[in-house]
Structure 1
Amino acid sequence: MDTRRSEQAGEASQVGIRAQGGSLAPGRVVGDGRYRLLAQFGVDERAAAHLWRARDGQLKRDVALTLLVGDPADAEAARLARRTLERAAHASKFGHGGVARVLDVLSLGSGVTSSEGLLGVVVAEWTKGSDLVDLVAQRPVAPAAAARMVQALAEAVDHAHQNGLVLGLDHPQRLRLTPDGALKLAFPGPLPEATLRDDVKALGAVLYLLLTGRWALPGGPAAIPAAPQAPTGRIIPPRSLVPTVPVELSSLAVRTIEDGGHGGIRTSAAILRVLDQVAEAEERTQLIKAVGEEEAVAEADGTVWTTKKPVKDVARRKKLAFGVTVLVVATVVILAWGGMMLINLFQGESKSSGPKINVAASSSQVAPPSGEQPPPAQQPPPAAPGVGAAVKPSAVAVFNPGSKGDSPGRAKNTTDGDPGTAWKTDEYDKQFPVLKDGVGLIVTFKDPVNLSQVKINAGSPGSKVEIRSADKKNPKLDETTVVATGELAAGESTIALQQPKQGQYFIIWITQLGENEDGKFITEVKDLTFLPAG
């Protein structure tokens, strides 16, 4: 079935090319004279879709074009193309950092003429970065890096599926690697018959490709070899091809691609859970390896090996000598102070002329000498005025009234005490409240707390938030009360409530997103700390 479709797509492609009176080539203009072709980045033969970088002559910017090539007289080909264009138009309302934004959809009679030999065009924003085929051409990607790349793409799929959208990323040349190391669907336009399951299988195939350099689904580009199969027809696991691939990642790729059998992975949410576990395990492994290597070097024979000759740096030696001197002096001072404290402890009381103290009595029961005031009691330093010790919520979740997405699986990162993990909103093209009023996090405490302050460690300066209180776990926005507002800086920001608020449910509600270098809007929260009134 897939082979026949590919052959038909190839024939349709050739028909479309002949209808143009030549091949699609750099310099040609399509889309009613608006888009000038610059460079081709692939062909998805299954849909006769040619993937190009082009120049928008009207807006003077580069765009990504998915050209559906075919004979306008072929009714079936035209019907399939219309279905792809409808899906692409529906996806134009979808916004996520893992998917290039659809700018326009052109069909026959509406931006595309029959003389062009095209059945339609999907216009998307251009994605800077590198081609996925070039990425794996030299050697497979390191397992940890591959997991992170697929993790970012899986978040986009999860968000799209929650909104009932099929992305159609089951072809490697439709993807690009952005400069910040994330995979992005650069050429949107799902096949007419593509399903949510096809997107999930594509995630497994992309992971397989990064780990092995092989493509495990039908219809891949000729530049990438197909994944080998066992005599039973099952795909050979990545670990059998590259022994350094962890068992968990190898199993994840195969279980996601294959349809039959038990233990299959059929949702993007399940993939994200596994990738989170793999990432945590990888961090622990790297830490253990690093410690082990340091111990091995230290315990070998005391010799430090280097490939460079030592450099006689006089200035550096003077700084080092000064530092050592300061350290020695500080050590002597500390030792002297410690000795004096010990002397006072064992001898001071016996030489004093004050009254004897009953060690069984508390300090408040000891009477001072006549005419003297009692010494102040020795107590630990008090906490900040009006603020008690931090209280950790029992649960945290994304608060997204009337919508879904914004990485709900990562909300827990904001209360894990690790600033290395974070929760991010989706990446928006327009600032709140154009697309929606806002988004936030709702926290639940086991018992009601008298909240006084909220500390927010953020990676997106310029974001504005409201602290809201609620009377139930799943409130509507108009059922909550604003108790504090503030603007986040890079790093930790403290937002004090006008007066302490007793409650069990509180919301960090984002009313304005931060802006990144690409001009997109996003907010990142690394850690939340809740301080009750003291």
Structure 2
Amino acid sequence: MNEKRSEQSGAARTGVRARGGSLAPGSVVGDGRYRLLAQFGIDERAGAHLWRARDGQLRRDVALTLLVGDPADAESARMARRTLERAAHAAKFSHDGVARVLDVLSLGSGITSSEGLLGVVVTEWTKGTDLIDLVAEHPVAPLTAARMVQKLAEAVEQAHHSGLVLGLDHPQRLRMTSDGALRLAFPGPLPDATLRDDVKAIGAVLYLLLTGRWALPGGPAAIPAAPHAPNGRLVPPRTLVPSVPQELSSLAVRTIEDGGHGGIRTSAAILQALGQAAAVEERTQLMKAQAAAGVKAEEDDGTVWTTKKPIKDKARRRKLALGVTVLVVAAVGILAWLGMLAISFFQNDPTSGGPPINVAQPTTSAQAPPPSTQAAPPPSTQTGQAQIGAAVAPSSASVYNPDGDGDNTSRAKNTVDGDPGTTWRTDQYNQQFPTIKQGVGIVASFDNPINLAKVTIAANSPGTVVELRAADSKNPNLSSTRVLGTATLNGQSTDITLPQPTQGQYFIIWITQLSKTGGKYQSQIGELTFLPAQ
């Protein structure tokens, strides 16, 4: 997946250079105001390059839709002007499902022809995860997908009532926010986009969440295209993923395909159909949960049921009779022995009662042993070296990035979920730290302070250099944190053992150097294990 994204980004940058531009992390656009940080995709249909950037004047992250082209090409310039006009109109639109347009730059008004750009749409940055990462491991659960798309459809319905086309028919223009909602993060509709295109895009997004495939033309190379039957019809999601409910599968196809009976052509119609399909799926899940709970209750009521008849086996019956006889004889012998002990206990013979005991004087057996015979303390106590205790799980983990909004913030929890197979990874960079920023990391928070002695990092990112830092809060200034140890990741697991245990409630795994693969820089962490001193 990362290789495909790298190839795509490389192709995008090559296209920019061919037109005279030079877009790469660290370069600036818009009269030097916006410094490019990381590219998040490219919509080839419009030459729109999607970037996260840093606003040098307001010191905040923003999203840039860069329209790349040759100013001498009259048709390209006309199309870019149309896109910028539509984006400017969208600046008046306000909805949680659409990033707010902050500025629109055009030739002679914020950008120059030497930049190789025809225009720039500046919007607020949307924290979260892009759709490629969201479906990279597995499709989204049907009910969750329906709810996510329902929120996006509400934004489309409100925009269409205002006469606006949003232009969300490309998956890399969308991001999932930290609260699980879909949002148009890179507005800038194509010059000829229509209201119908927005509706079809909603169906395509639903199809993508359910199957991991994109059903409209012009999608990114990182996402497989949806298959079609020999008759040219779109293969329903349920055919690819049998767990998809029939209602949602049919809804996705009816929304995307043109013509035929039962097609969905308006945002209001798809919003109503989504609500009904989500309600049906929710009831289905509820009934399954209740049925599972009933089966569980029956299994746990203590009743033993059997439909087998007793086996008539003479040999087994003889063995059973012999075993019972042995048990009876053993029981009689034990009872006889206990009776003899009782008789002996109540005899008056003084010799049978043991030696006389003077209750006024303690026996020597009760006296404390001399110092020389006392047990020696454990070796760790004698040497002063702390022993490692059992691992303590943090209450939460989040991305720590004092230079911006963080990388893949929604996946930070994967580093402390107990499963090394689920990972968090940084953004992909074209230059090594600290060219773009000082670094990035994960801050682990504990409900109560622990006496940390060792951290184990499960990661497959050789060459990554990390620092273990202690902090006094969840979002501290980097200068206020303390370095406890450093390590270079190598192999599947790397340990950072502290010379002396450190008491603290917040610890940061701070990446100062990224792993390099194929000319790109990116690191990932599978699991963080925190081991306190005993």
TM-score, reference length from structure 1: 0.54
Contact 2:91 2:101 in 1 (8 A): yes
Post-superposition shift, 1:73? 0.7
Which residue number corresponds to residue 17 of structure 1?
17
Q: Give distance in 2, aligned partners of 1:151 and 1:298.
A: 36
2:223 aligns with 224
Amino acid at match of 1:88: A
Are positions 1:233 and 2:268 aligned together? no
Report deviation, 1:286. Answer: 2.2
Question: Partner of 1:46: helix, strand, or coil?
Answer: coil
| 3-state SS, counterpart of residue 137 of structure 1 | coil
| Map of 1:367 onto structure 2 | none
Alpha-carbon displacement from aligned partner over 1:378-428 (angstroms, at most 9, x marks no partner): xxxxxxxxxxxxxxxxxxxxxxxxxxxxxxxxxxxxxxxxxxxxxxxxxxx
What corresponds to 2:280 in structure 1? Answer: 281
Q: Name the counterpart of 1:45.
A: 44
Structure 2 residues not aligned, in runs of 5+: 1-9, 304-534
Rg larger in structure: 2
Q: Does 1:165 align with 2:164?
A: yes
- The aligned runs of 1:280-429 (5 Å cut-off) are 280-300=279-299, 302-303=301-302
Percent identity of equivalent pairs: 79
Question: What's the CA shift for 1:288?
Answer: 1.4
Equivalence for 1:63: 62
- Does the CA-based 8 Å contact 1:204-1:256 persist in structure 2? yes
After superposition, the C-alpha distances for 1:218-274 in whole angstroms (9 at most, x for unaligned) are 000000000000011110000000000000100000000000111100011111111
Question: 2:258 & 2:286 partners in 1: Cα distance?
Answer: 36
Deviations 1:445-490 (A, max 9, x none): xxxxxxxxxxxxxxxxxxxxxxxxxxxxxxxxxxxxxxxxxxxxxx
Report deviation, 1:301. 6.0
CA 1:182 to 1:15, structure 2 compared with 1: closer, same or farther past 3 Å? closer
The 1:303–1:138 alpha-carbon spacing in structure 2 relative to 1, beyond 3 Å, is farther
Q: How does 1:93-108 map to 2 (within 5 A)?
A: 93-108=92-107
Indicate the SS of the match to 1:194. coil
3-state SS of 2:31 partner:
coil
Q: What is aligned with 1:150?
A: 149
How many Å apart are 1:277 and its aligned residue? 1.1
Contact persistence 1:19–1:116 (CA under 8 A): no
Q: Is the 8 A contact 1:15 1:71 kept in 2?
A: no
Offset at residue 87 of structure 1 (A): 0.3
Residues 117 and 269 (structure 1 numbering): CA distance in 2 closer, same or farther, change over 3 Å?
Answer: same
Alignment partners' CA distance in 2, 1:124 and 1:37: 14
Q: Could you say which residue in structure 2 is the equivalent of 1:76? A: 75
8 Å contact kept, 1:50–1:66: yes
Name the SS for the 2:163 alignment partner. coil
Residue identity in the other structure for 1:105 = V
Other-structure match for 2:111: 112
Q: Which amino acid aligns with 2:197?
A: D
1:325-372 superposed Cα distances (whole Å, 9 cap, x missing partner): xxxxxxxxxxxxxxxxxxxxxxxxxxxxxxxxxxxxxxxxxxxxxxxx
The number of residues matched between the two structures is: 294
**Higher mean displacement: 265-274 or 39-48:** 265-274
Cα offset, 1:303, TM superposition: 4.6
CA contact (8 A) 1:64 1:124 kept: yes
Whole-Å separation in 2 of the counterparts to 1:13 and 1:301: 62
Map of 1:521 onto structure 2? none
The verdict on how the C-alpha distance between 1:19 and 1:284 changes in structure 2, with shifts beyond 3 A counting, is closer
**Do the aligned residues in 1 keep the contact of 2:21 with 2:117 (CA within 8 Å)?**
no
CA displacement, residues 304-326 of structure 1 (integer Å, 9 cap, x when unaligned) = 9xxxxxxxxxxxxxxxxxxxxxx
TM-score computed with the length of structure 2 as normaliser? 0.54
Residue 202, structure 1, aligned to residue 201, structure 2? yes
Cα deviation for residue 15 of structure 1 reads 5.7
- Report the equivalent of 2:467: none
Structure 1's consecutive aligned runs of 4 or more residues displaced over 6 angstroms after TM superposition are 10-13
The residue that corresponds to 1:353 in the other structure is none
How far did residue 210 of structure 1 move? 0.2
Contact 1:70–1:117 under 8 Å retained in 2 = yes
1: CA distance, partners of 2:52 / 2:16: 19
Structure 1 CA distance for aligned equivalents of residues 117 and 288 of structure 2: 56
- How big is the shift at 1:300? 3.0
Unaligned runs of 5+ in 1: 1-9, 305-534
Distance 1:200 1:255, change over 3 A: same
Secondary structure, in 3 states, of the residue corresponding to 1:150?
helix
SS of alignment partner, residue 98 of structure 1? coil
Which residue identity is paired with 2:87?
A: A
Structure 1 residues 6-40: Cα deviation after superposition (integer angstroms, max 9, x where no partner): xxxx9998564234454x11000001111000000
